[in-house]
Structure 1
Amino acid sequence: MRAELADIALRLFAERGFDQTTVDEIAQTAGLTKRSFFRYFPAKEDAVFAAVDVTGEQVVDDIHARPGDEDPWHSLHQVLRRWQQQIHASEQALASVRLIESTPSLRARLHEKRAHWRQQVSDALRDRPDAGLDAFTADLLTNAATAALDTVSHEWLRSDGTADRAALLDRAFTLIRPALPAR
């Protein structure tokens, strides 16, 4: 039901605009009460990020599953490449990115969510068996990967969704590949 409610909200936001769409309208369209909406999402903004939250958890799980002796930059690249393809394969992806970019409160919420996600990813990089990463290096790699994702997303948006996200991500990871100390 949570995913269905998020889909309804995104559709209404795309049709009417985020600020012009009320929680009552979303709930009514879903056949729920306003109170029921808030059982699934603490705020209207959270309906936009329902898939992001799930994907963030899955990314962290996938990083934990990578071999501890694997280069952490390579681990990040492989995991993010897999997930960005899945995320942006949906038809709603372009509309969602446009909605977030055009709505200040959503950009602010995305910033909050990304900060939380970055910390989880950094912790996951350090927690892999035999990883041997200190907090500074894990944070730096995670922030660089996030910058790559942001740049890919902006270019994809500029291309009206026609750019090859996987190729852009590969290019970004190659361009900013860090020189990691030997273990």
Structure 2
Amino acid sequence: MTGQRSDARRNYQRILSVAETEVAAHGADASLERIARTAGVGSATVRRHFPTRQALLEAVFHERIGHLCDSARRLNDTDDSRAALLEWLQGLLDYAVSARGLADALTYEPPTDQPATNSCGNALEEAGTPLLRHAIRDGAVKGEVTFHDLLTLSVGIALATEHHSEPAVQADRLFRLAVEGISPGSRPADGPARA
């Protein structure tokens, strides 16, 4: 029995390693059959460990999402709540642009009353919502803004720019436009938005 468990763990790690490479190359549409073939396992083994494409994507992005959540917790102690929220959102956007497939994975998670407990979207919401609430309480963000509004904005920018020759530059430009507004004399964005 122990040998079977260690084989299962090795298979899981091998599948996950191959999946990370495939998702980086092909995004959320990475072929599950190719992942299985490259990992040297059958498709049934992949599906046993990752019953859905979403489950596989969650596993691929788990560690980096953890870093974003840690960053949100650290930034929550910052005095300038607007700058803290914008810095965190910029980090989320940077990762969504650089990690092909993350934005797609997050679009599979519409807001619900009962989100999946281990989902990327749920983890981001739990980490980012205190930053948003702090900024709303300080009057730095409008009270009707929700976390899902900000996540949708970040995901939308990442998806809209992924085929540009310089997606990070275009994503940063769109993020600054969203934060600053398009009207002359709008309040400039604080925080990490780059020129």
TM-score normalised by the chain length of structure 1: 0.58
Which one has a larger percent helix, Structure 1 or Structure 2?
1
Distance apart, 1:71 and its partner CA: 3.6
Distance apart, 1:63 and its partner CA: 0.9
Q: Report if aligned partners of 1:125, 1:138 keep a CA contact under 8 Å in 2.
A: no
Stretches of structure 1 that go unaligned for 5 or more consecutive residues are 101-105, 179-183
Amino acid at match of 2:68: V
Task: Flag the structure with larger Rg.
Answer: 2
Question: Secondary structure in 2 aligned to 1:68?
Answer: coil
Matches within 5 A, 1:98-109: 100=104, 109=108
Q: 2:164 aligns with which of 160, 167, 178?
A: 160
Matches within 5 A, 1:73-84: 73-84=82-93
Q: Report if aligned partners of 1:8, 1:29 keep a CA contact under 8 Å in 2.
A: no
> Residue in 1 aligned with 2:17?
4
**RMSD of aligned residue pairs (Cα, Å):** 4.2
> Residue in 2 aligned with 1:54?
63
Distance apart, 1:69 and its partner CA: 4.7
Distance apart, 1:78 and its partner CA: 0.5
Q: Report if aligned partners of 2:96, 2:102 keep a CA contact under 8 Å in 1.
A: no
Q: Report if aligned partners of 1:27, 1:37 keep a CA contact under 8 Å in 2.
A: yes
TM-score normalised by the chain length of structure 2: 0.55
- C-alpha distance 170-161 of structure 1, shift in aligned 2 (>3 A): same
CA–CA distance in 1 between the matches of 2:52 and 2:58? 11
Stretches of structure 2 that go unaligned for 5 or more consecutive residues are 1-12, 188-195
The C-alpha deviation readout for 1:120-171, integer Å capped at 9, x for no partner, is 134543898xx968xxx899352332232133124314x5353412232232
**TM superposition outliers: structure 1 runs of 4+ over 6 Å:** none
Question: Secondary structure in 2 aligned to 1:140?
Answer: coil
Q: Report if aligned partners of 2:57, 2:102 keep a CA contact under 8 Å in 1.
A: no
> Residue in 1 aligned with 2:126?
120
Aligned length: 157
The C-alpha deviation readout for 1:93-144, integer Å capped at 9, x for no partner, is 2xx379x4xxxxx67634365652453134543898xx968xxx89935233
CA–CA distance in 1 between the matches of 2:62 and 2:149? 20
CA–CA distance in 2 between the matches of 1:79 and 1:65? 10
Q: Report if aligned partners of 1:126, 1:138 keep a CA contact under 8 Å in 2.
A: no
